[in-house]
Amino acid sequence: MVFSLQKRFLVFLLLPVAFIVGLLGFGGFLMARSYLAAQWAESVQLKLDKAAHQITMKLDEILQLINLIAKAEEAPNGDLIQAYLIQQLSEKTGVRFVDLEVPEANQNEQQSPSIDANDYGSGMVDGLYTMELCGEFGFCAPIMDPGALDRSLRIVKVLGQPEQGPVKRLVVRMSFDSLLVPIREMALWQGSIPLLVTSTGQFLAADDKAFADRKRLGDNGDELEKKLLTEIRSKESGAVGGKGHPPELVIGFFKISAINWYIVLVSKGSSIMEPIIRFRLYSLIGGLAALAIVLLLIRVTTRSVGRSIGAISAAAAKVTDGDYSLVLPEDRSDEIGELNRNFNRMVKGLKQRDLIQDTFGRYVDKAVAEELMSRPEALRLGGEKAVVTIMMSDLRDFTPMSEKLTPEEVIKLLNRYFGRMIAVIERYKGIIVDFYGDSVLVFFNGGDSNVSQRALDAVQCALDMQSELVSFMEENKGRNIPQLSMGIGVHTGEVVVGNIGTETRAKYGIVGAAVNLTDRIQSTASPGKVVISQETYQAISQWLNISHDFKVCLKGIEDHKKLYEVESLSITKQQI
């Protein structure tokens, strides 16, 4: 599967951008959430502190009236003053009942002033808590009344001195819910629930029915309430949060120091974290929008680049197949335009190189041409010694025959003949050194394989050339073409292989006595026969079928040479 440029941009640009945007958004969300939680905790502490102060002032105001009622006991016309003060006390917000209890011995002599602000009557059952005033300094510890029917505070003040005669008791009943009024009047978060609890976690007042029948924090097994109770026992103020992001509930608390009670504010995490939730949503939308814009830019930017590169790729594919006709537009001034111009110049160079190579290949063996084109160092003059197998073929009695033909017919016949022979030579990777009239000089270099293998290739090539000539003559019967026959000599020996000539004109070939010897061996071959030297025979004797061997004195050679006429090979080309 092709991994296109556009896909690479999407992967290597869009993904990092998405990661960075996501990382920044997530980091910003965490920072904003922490900041918002800290701000909420600070804000709720300030509000609860203010509410606690107002509750303390409210209780102090009631305490002052109670103390004034107590002092009026000793004043002239004390009963009238007490009645007036009791009236004032009963009108205070949250005061349900005020009663001045007189001992039974004095009931007939003095009627106690009694005012019920809410028509509850003096027979009402005692409240949940009873507080006795300790002198003029404040409230004593509350006393729990398990039999209470409502949640109210009963404040008791003893009037007079027991040693001076019967004493009176001032009983004030006050609603706990009225103490929550300062909290209700604040700008609370939507869905927040104010509570009033003791330091032991007992519920005094609540603004929610869910807490109406509850007695103590954590009595329902709620882990957050248990956590709150633990914090209350060790701290005067603070905040706790539940599980989740945002937490389902967040609770702030503050101690009312005067009476050792706590104001508790239960808020929904979603309400508190509403801004950060909106921020998270907006961040997600903004991040997706940013990615969409980046994606659009990538598509717009890479589409033209991708098309241009695709056009260059298609042109390169055609060039690979040898088609140099396509010319890319050069009207752009950017890098793509420069690439197109360079590509066109490259195609011109390749076209010229192929022309040179094709022309060169007509005069030099194809294998030699490819080596010289691919290895510049092979162009240097000089050579190296190597053991090669040399083959030379020659048409018998061709010169007298050619005199009966026109020059055009001679060239045409030789071209057709050489075309068939060259095809066989190339099949066995032989390197054609030169053509001498109707003769061909070929060598088989053993550099890339062992000498025996290349000698075997040479003999097999010679036998196939004889067979190919027979087929050539069979195909041309009746065309007034003279009967051709060929003799071939094969020899294995050491020669110098390399470039011969000058810097301006050179030829790749072989030089050495072995070349001349091969020519002499070829001259001994009868028409249609292949003769090899003893050196070649020794290299591949196990694969040869010899018709006969003979000794001969060759021109320029002092000793007699033993030669072998090859009938066939004992192996096939597939086995070679």
Report pLDDT digits (tens) over 330-378.
Answer: 777 777 777 788 878 887 777 776 665 565 555 455 555 565 555 554 4
Residue 220 pLDDT exceeds 60: yes
The pLDDT confidence band at residue 9, using thresholds 50, 70 and 90, is: low
| Pairwise CA distance, residues 211 & 194, whole Å | 11
Kindly give the pairing relationship between strand 152-159 and strand 129-132.
Answer: parallel
Residues 48, 53, 55, 58, Cα dihedral to 10°: -160
**pLDDT tens digits, one per residue of 264-277:** 888 877 766 666 66
**pLDDT tens digits, one per residue of 521-553:** 999 999 999 999 999 999 999 999 999 999 998
In angstroms, the Cα distances linking 562 to 82, 371, 464, 509, 553 are 160, 36, 24, 27, 9
Q: Which of 298-302, 372-376, 440-444, 483-487 is least confident? A: 372-376
Closest alpha carbon to 569 in 453, 469, 449: 453
Q: Which of 427-431, 476-480, 502-506 is least confident? A: 502-506
Closest alpha carbon to 305 in 279, 332, 324, 269: 332
Using an 8 Å Cβ cutoff, are 214 and 220 in contact?
A: yes
In angstroms, the Cα distances linking 518 to 17, 497, 551, 552 are 75, 16, 15, 13
Check residue 164 and give its pLDDT. 59
The pLDDT confidence band at residue 488, using thresholds 50, 70 and 90, is: very high
The pLDDT confidence band at residue 203, using thresholds 50, 70 and 90, is: confident
Check residue 397 and give its pLDDT. 84
Region 515-521: what's the mean pLDDT? 92
DSSP letters for 369-432: HHHHHH-GGGGSSEEEEEEEEEEEEEETTHHHHHTTS-HHHHHHHHHHHHHHHHHHHHHTT-EE
Closest alpha carbon to 132 in 262, 263, 261, 259: 259
Using an 8 Å Cβ cutoff, are 554 and 517 in contact?
A: yes
Superfamily classification of domain 364-575: Nucleotide cyclase, GGDEF domain (3.30.70.1230)
Residue 566 pLDDT exceeds 50: yes
Q: Quick one: how far is CA 267 from the chain centroid?
A: 41
Region 130-156: what's the mean pLDDT? 52
Check residue 214 and give its pLDDT. 79
DSSP letters for 501-535: E-SSSEEEEEESHHHHHHHHHHHTPPTT-EEEEHH
Percent helix / strand / coil, the chain, rounded to 5:
50, 25, 25
DSSP classification of residue 133: B
Number of H helices, E strands in the chain: 14, 19
Using an 8 Å Cβ cutoff, are 204 and 278 in contact?
A: no
The pLDDT confidence band at residue 97, using thresholds 50, 70 and 90, is: confident
**Terminal Cα-to-Cα distance of the chain (whole angstroms):** 40
Check residue 111 and give its pLDDT. 45
**pLDDT tens digits, one per residue of 21-63:** 677 766 766 676 677 667 767 777 788 888 888 888 888 888 8
Q: Which of 68-82, 153-167, 365-379 is least confident? A: 365-379
Check residue 334 and give its pLDDT. 72
| Pairwise CA distance, residues 289 & 285, whole Å | 6
Of residues 179 and 565, more confidently modeled: 565
Place of tokens 């050619």: 402
Using an 8 Å Cβ cutoff, are 66 and 157 in contact?
A: yes
Residue 16 pLDDT exceeds 80: no
The pLDDT confidence band at residue 464, using thresholds 50, 70 and 90, is: very high
Residue 442's CB is within 10 A of a number of other CB atoms, namely 27
| Pairwise CA distance, residues 167 & 159, whole Å | 6
Check residue 143 and give its pLDDT. 46
Place of tokens 């608390």: 253
Q: Which of 185-189, 337-341, 469-473 is least confident? A: 185-189
Q: What are the structure tokens assigned to 382, written together? A: 């000089």
Q: Any bridge partners for residue 255, and if so which?
A: 262
Residue 388 pLDDT exceeds 50: yes
Q: Any bridge partners for residue 563, and if so which?
A: 533, 550
Q: Which of 63-77, 128-142, 458-472, 511-525 is least confident? A: 128-142
Using an 8 Å Cβ cutoff, are 369 and 361 in contact?
A: yes
Q: What percent of the chain has pLDDT over 90?
A: 16
Using an 8 Å Cβ cutoff, are 112 and 100 in contact?
A: yes
Of residues 103 and 263, more confidently modeled: 263
Q: Which of 194-198, 312-316, 514-518 is least confident? A: 312-316
The pLDDT confidence band at residue 151, using thresholds 50, 70 and 90, is: low
Q: Considering the chain, what is the average pLDDT of its residues?
A: 76
The pLDDT confidence band at residue 224, using thresholds 50, 70 and 90, is: confident
Q: What is the CA radius of gyration of the chain?
A: 60
The domains of the chain are located at 1-272, 276-357, 364-575
Of residues 3 and 55, more confidently modeled: 55
> In this structure, which amino acid lies at residue 168?
K
Q: Which of 141-150, 180-189, 501-510 is least confident? A: 141-150
Write out the E strands in 92-164.
Answer: 95-101, 114-116, 129-132, 143-144, 152-159
> In this structure, which amino acid lies at residue 523?
S
Residue 237 pLDDT exceeds 80: yes
Q: Answer whether the bond into residue 162 is a cis peptide, omega within 30°.
A: no
Q: What percent of the chain has pLDDT over 70?
A: 72
Q: Is 514 exposed, middle or buried (CB count within 10 Å of its CB: 0-12, 13-18, 19+)?
A: buried
Length of the chain: 576
